[in-house]
Amino acid sequence: MTPERKVLIYGANGYTGKLVAESLARRRIPFFFAGRSRDKLDAALAIVRDRLGADAWKLDAVVVVVENTMDALLPQLRGCSVVINVAGPFMQVAWPVVEAALQAGCHYIDTTGEQDWVRAIADRYGPAFAERGLLLAPATAFMWTAGALAAEVVLEDPEIDSLDILYQVDNALPSVASTKSFLRMACNDKSQYFLEHGEYKAWQNDVAHEVFAPYRHVKMRAHPWGGGCEPVWFKGRVRNCRVLTVVGDQLIDGILQAIRGFNAQAAGLDQAGREALTNAIGDQINTGEPPKDDVDVQRGVIVVYGQGRTKTTRHVMNLSAAYTWTGEICAESAQRILEGRLERPGFQSAATAFGHRQLIRTFNVGGFCSALPG
């Protein structure tokens, strides 16, 4: 008997959507493969089927063409349990998906990296989702769920009240949507923050910071990369939280050049003009969809330092294939919802929604991150 179709991927034809679809298929979870273009969806699903190889028989997907409007999305989400939204930049296009999910009684997951989007929907929709027992889980992706998982290990010590988080990824492969989302975060005013004494403070957007990772002998350069979502999730739980990201000098140089170009061109523009400018810059610098990432090429670590009044501690999480891991994080979250294993509804990270130790154990078995300490 075929399981009932309760999951919908929106924006499914993109780079991340195909990875989510592949991960759902390997779990034999039927899903709707949704977006705005039939031709693009059909082509993307063919790629998913090809990647599955001998497991292609597990793929159970129905292509659905849905415009990004409340009127179109609401009837499609009625009857679904989970929508996984992978269409960005989220601050520009994701509002109808969240609103439709709430009205349809559907759990909402997305793969944003945009800190301002996460703050906005937490404030606007968090209480309403919680009241209905629904999950509102933006950034259910390598960035920034992986840092939240590692930070939760550090916060098992009740004395820790400050977090310093570093992402380091070798040979990073930003997708088209990720490039645009990052640029709108990094370039726009008041869109990337850290926590200092419980208050949001803005990073300077055109500066790289020298850092050390514990397993490298040379200094590396890091960028706030939008500020991360950990300062949002941990606000109220810790006093201080900073997130920096190392992606390689060549990419950092290109990003800084793009940001400085934006800063020079954006004077006097209103917010709509600034958003349009970041999209245009993203179109200019993006080289198209990258290949699927590789566990032996796209490797890295997340380092979390914790500090309290009388102690410091550290947790290092090794990682592999960040984008493929994103597909796994989304699929694992959807599976746990379908199985009734959601621990906390409302606005949550995946780490608090499902339990950080349970997720780390699962992803370690899958080869995406290192094991828990001890």
pLDDT of residue 44: 98
pLDDT of residue 178: 65
304 and 345, same domain (yes or no): no
* Percent of the chain whose predicted confidence (pLDDT) is above 70: 94
Q: Is residue 361 part of a domain?
A: no
Which one of 297, 322, 347 terminates a domain?
322
Residue range 174-192, pLDDT digits in tens = 655 666 667 777 776 556 8
The band of 285, judged by pLDDT with boundaries at 50, 70 and 90, is: low
Report how far residue 101's alpha carbon sits from residue 338's, in angstroms, rounded to the nearest whole number: 16
HEC assignment per residue over the chain: CCCCCCEEEECCCCHHHHHHHHHHHHCCCCEEEEECCHHHHHHHHHHHHHHHHHHHHHCCEEEEECCCCHHHHHHHHCCCCEEEECCCCHHHHCHHHHHHHHHHCCEEEECCCCHHHHHHHHHHHHHHHHHCCCEEECCCCHHHHHHHHHHHHHCCCCCCCEEEEEEEECCCCCCHHHHHHHHHHHHCCCCCEEEECCEEEECCCCCCEEECCCCCCCCEEEECCCCCCHHHHHECCECEEEEEEECCHHHHHHHHHHHHHHHHHCCCCCHHHHHHHHHHHHHHHCCCCCCCCCCCCCEEEEEEEEECCCCEEEEEEEEECHHHHHHHHHHHHHHHHHCCCCCCCEECCHHHHHCHHHHHHHHHHCCCECCCCC
130 and 154, same domain (yes or no): no
113 and 218, same domain (yes or no): no
Report how far residue 83's alpha carbon sits from residue 372's, in angstroms, rounded to the nearest whole number: 30
Q: Is residue 49 part of a domain?
A: yes
pLDDT higher than 90, residue 170 = no
29 and 150, same domain (yes or no): no
pLDDT higher than 70, residue 250 = yes
240 and 342, same domain (yes or no): no
Q: Which residues fall within 8 angstroms of residue 174, CB to CB, at 6 or more apart?
A: 182, 251, 286, 290
pLDDT of residue 280: 83
pLDDT of residue 174: 63
Least confident of 72-86, 90-104, 168-182: 168-182
pLDDT of residue 180: 67
The band of 53, judged by pLDDT with boundaries at 50, 70 and 90, is: very high
Do residues 7 and 34 lie in contact, with contact meaning Cβ atoms separated by under 8 Å?
Answer: no
> Structure tokens of 263?
């800063």
Do residues 183 and 114 lie in contact, with contact meaning Cβ atoms separated by under 8 Å?
Answer: no
pLDDT higher than 60, residue 1 = no
Q: Which amino acid is residue 71, in one-letter code? A: D
The band of 314, judged by pLDDT with boundaries at 50, 70 and 90, is: very high
Q: Which residues form the domain of 40?
A: 7-141+323-356
Q: Is residue 253 part of a domain?
A: yes
146 and 286, same domain (yes or no): yes
Q: Is residue 363 part of a domain?
A: no
CATH number at residue 74: 3.40.50.720
Report how far residue 134's alpha carbon sits from residue 154's, in angstroms, rounded to the nearest whole number: 27
CATH number at residue 204: 3.30.360.10
More confident residue, 248 or 176: 248
> Structure tokens of 355?
């339990």
> Structure tokens of 356?
């950080």
pLDDT higher than 60, residue 164 = yes
Q: How many domains does the chain have?
A: 2
- Selection from 164, 163, 167, 111 nearest residue 300 by Cα: 167
45 and 183, same domain (yes or no): no
pLDDT higher than 90, residue 263 = no
336 and 187, same domain (yes or no): no
> Structure tokens of 74?
């609401």
Q: Is residue 373 part of a domain?
A: no
Q: Please state the rounded mean pLDDT for residues 104-113.
A: 97
247 and 197, same domain (yes or no): yes
Mean pLDDT computed over every residue of the chain: 92
The band of 365, judged by pLDDT with boundaries at 50, 70 and 90, is: very high
66 and 128, same domain (yes or no): yes
In sign, the C-alpha dihedral spanning 325, 328, 333, 336 is negative
Most confident option among 2-6, 226-230, 250-254, 281-285: 226-230
- Selection from 323, 306, 302 nearest residue 369 by Cα: 302
Least confident of 78-92, 112-126, 238-252: 238-252
272 and 344, same domain (yes or no): no
Least confident of 142-151, 221-230, 270-279: 270-279
Q: Is residue 197 part of a domain?
A: yes
pLDDT higher than 80, residue 3 = no
More confident residue, 184 or 61: 61
pLDDT higher than 90, residue 282 = no
Do residues 239 and 289 lie in contact, with contact meaning Cβ atoms separated by under 8 Å?
Answer: no
Q: Is residue 1 part of a domain?
A: no
Q: Which amino acid is residue 284, in one-letter code? A: Q
Do residues 86 and 35 lie in contact, with contact meaning Cβ atoms separated by under 8 Å?
Answer: no
167 and 129, same domain (yes or no): no
Q: Which residue has the tokens 């349809």?
A: 104
pLDDT higher than 70, residue 2 = no
Do residues 154 and 160 lie in contact, with contact meaning Cβ atoms separated by under 8 Å?
Answer: yes
Q: Is residue 364 part of a domain?
A: no
Report how far residue 328's alpha carbon sits from residue 159's, in angstroms, rounded to the nearest whole number: 32
